[in-house]
């Protein structure tokens, strides 16, 4: 099944949306950090946010090449998730562990979005598939580091 430029544009814009969600999610996580946790966690969250900024900046020109316009929106599910994170933090003490749990959920959703994008990218062109695969692999590496860091912080 051959992908049209429009299909490629939609596929890539879905990835831009999930990256926009991830950017805003880590911005939310940074604002929810307890004061005593700001140094190490802030740096990690900023690095993850910056990774998605780089992914988005790499994907946006592909949308333009396909004749589309890169989206600036986020997904409704992402908006609800960030609202839930904020509400949860006002109802109970927001600890580093609870913030990391939320980040873990977000990273799982991000991984799934890239997995589905790879499934949908069959016939999309080698340049697009290569970028999606590379970004997916990089995210998985950083997600594994986040899980390790989360586990070591919960055990302390």
Please list, in sequence order, all residues whose beta carbon lies within 8 angstroms of the beta carbon of residue 153, skipping any fewer than 6 positions away: 96, 97, 100
Greatest mean pLDDT among 31-45, 78-92, 116-130 = 116-130
Q: Which fold has domain 5-155?
A: Ferritin (1.20.1260)
Locus of tokens 């998605």: 52
Question: How many Cα neighbours within 13 Å face the side chain of 12?
Answer: 31
Q: Give the residue among 54, 59, 67 at the shortest CA–CA distance from 121.
A: 59
- Summarised one tens digit per residue, pLDDT across range 56-93 is 999 999 999 999 999 987 765 555 555 556 555 555 56
**Portion of the chain with pLDDT greater than 90, in percent:** 46
**pLDDT at residue number 85:** 60
**Portion of the chain with pLDDT greater than 70, in percent:** 80
**pLDDT at residue number 32:** 84
Spatial separation of the C-alpha atoms in residues 25 and 29, rounded to whole Å: 6
Q: Would you list the DSSP string of 28-90? A: HHHHHS-GGGHHHHHHHHHHHHHHHHHHHHHHHHHHHHTT--------HHHHHHHHHHHHHHH
**pLDDT at residue number 69:** 93
What would the mean pLDDT of 121-137 be, rounded to a whole number?
92
pTM reported for the whole predicted model: 0.84
Name which residue leads in pLDDT, 39 or 50: 50
**What pLDDT band is residue 19 in, cutting at 50, 70 and 90?**
very high
Please list, in sequence order, all residues whose beta carbon lies within 8 angstroms of the beta carbon of residue 75, skipping any fewer than 6 positions away: 17, 18, 21
């Amino acid at each position: 099944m051959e992908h049209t430029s429009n299909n490629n544009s939609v596929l890539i814009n879905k990835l831009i949306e999930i990256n926009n969600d991830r950017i805003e999610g880590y911005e939310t996580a940074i604002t929810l950090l307890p004061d005593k946790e700001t140094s190490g966690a802030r740096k990690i969250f900023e690095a993850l946010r910056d990774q998605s900024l780089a992914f988005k900046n790499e994907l946006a020109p592909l949308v333009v090449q396909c004749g589309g316009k890169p989206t600036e929106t986020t997904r409704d599910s992402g908006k609800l998730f960030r609202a839930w994170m904020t509400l949860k933090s006002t109802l109970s003490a927001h600890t580093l562990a609870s913030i990391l749990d939320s980040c873990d959920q977000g990273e799982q959703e991000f991984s799934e979005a890239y997995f589905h994008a790879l499934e949908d990218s069959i016939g999309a062109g080698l340049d697009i598939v290569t970028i999606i695969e590379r970004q997916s692999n990089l995210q998985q590496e950083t997600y594994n580091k986040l899980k390790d860091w989360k586990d070591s912080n919960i055990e302390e």
